[in-house]
Amino acid sequence: MNARVVSVNTSEKKGVRKKPVSEIIIDENFGIQGDAHASSEWHRQVSLLALESIRTMQEKGLDVHPGDFAENITTEGIDLVSLPVGTVMTIGAEVVGKVSQIGKECHNRCAIYYQAGDCVMPKEGIFIIILKGGRVQAGDKIEIPA
pLDDT along the chain (146 residues), means of 10: 93 88 97 93 92 89 87 96 96 97 68 59 86 98 91
> What's the confidence (pLDDT) of residue 127?
94
Domain 4-143 grouped into CATH 2.40.33.20? yes
pLDDT computed for residue 69 by the predictor: 84
b/e sequence 4-34, b meaning 16+ C-beta within 10 Å: bbbbbbbbeeeebbbeebeebebbeebbbee
How far is the C-alpha of 67 from the C-alpha of 57, rounded, in Å?
13
Q: Where are the beta strands (DSSP E) in 2-115?
A: 4-10, 19-21, 24-27, 31-32, 46-50, 73-76, 88-91, 95-102
Q: Give this prediction's pTM.
A: 0.90
Domain locations in the chain?
A: 4-143
Under 8 Å between Cβ of 45 and 72: no
Distance spanning both ends of the chain, measured CA to CA: 12
Buried b (16+ CB within 10 A) or exposed e, 87-122: bebbbbeebbbbbbebeeeeeeebebbeebeebbbe
